Structure formats: C-alpha cells, structure tokens
C-alpha cells in the first residue's frame, strides 16, 4: 500500500498509532512503569493540542519539505465528520495533518525522516 492510495484520514489514523508508539517507548525508556503514570504523561504529547503545537514549532523552523506539507494539507482538510468534544476544530485539523505526515512516512518507509522529527521533538519535551 502506498500513501497515494489512501485518504488523508487514513494516513492520520496510521500516524496516530506511530506517534503513540514513539511516545510510549520514550516514556518507558525514561523509567516510567506504572500504567496510570504512563497514561497521564503520554496525554501531554498525544493530545491534539500537543500535536498541533509540535507541528507549528517545527513548521516555524522550516523542518517540513514541500511534499510533506502537501500530505499535511491532505490530512488537515480531510472531513472526518466528528471532532472531539474538548478540542477546537482548528487545533484538531492541524493535529490531523501532523498525524497524516507521520502515516505517510511510515507507509513510504521514510523512517529516517521520522527519526529526524523525533530527535527535534525530544529537544523540547519536558519529560
């Protein structure tokens, strides 16, 4: 399966799983072991608000390439039909676009790009 064969929403769905796994592995590496601690701390990074902030910070640093911005727009503009109750629609759409990039990298085997993003993100994480 290639990224051009799936919707922006599907890329975001996959990207959400990729991001959650990165965060969970990172927290466990940091020594967190209790499931409720892991859950509480991970929300700080997997929430739509956190993802939108991460994307915005990296965008300001010109981290993303042109093709990645196109993928972001596919995810951002995907009409899911629902928005979480506690999240602003604009924030939710930015986060969905960010997740679409992650899903795109995963499907296209661009693990190096994912690693580059992760290294940048770790520099401003507070764990």
Q: How far apart are CA 65 and CA 80, in angstroms?
A: 25
Q: Tokens for 3? A: 């990224």
Q: What is the DSSP letter of 32?
A: -
Q: Tokens for 75? A: 């995810």
Q: Per the residue annotation, which of 16, 36, 37, 88 is the catalytic one?
A: 16
Is residue 16 part of the annotated active site? The answer reads: yes
Element (H, E) at 49: helix 48-60
Residues contacting 28, CB < 8 A, separation 6+: 38
Catalytically active residues, by annotation:
16
């Amino acid at each position: 399966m290639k990224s051009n064969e799936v919707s922006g929403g599907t890329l975001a769905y996959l990207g959400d799983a990729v991001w959650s796994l990165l965060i969970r592995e990172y927290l466990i590496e940091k020594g967190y072991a209790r499931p409720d601690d892991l859950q509480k701390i991970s929300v700080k990074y997997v929430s739509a608000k956190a993802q939108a902030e991460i994307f915005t910070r990296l965008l300001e640093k010109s981290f993303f390439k042109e093709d990645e911005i196109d993928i972001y727009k596919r995810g951002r503009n995907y009409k899911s039909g629902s928005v979480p109750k506690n999240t602003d629609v604009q924030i939710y759409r930015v986060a969905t676009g960010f997740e679409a990039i992650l899903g795109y990298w995963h499907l296209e085997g661009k693990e190096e790009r994912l690693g580059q993003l992760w290294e940048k993100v770790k520099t401003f994480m507070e764990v």
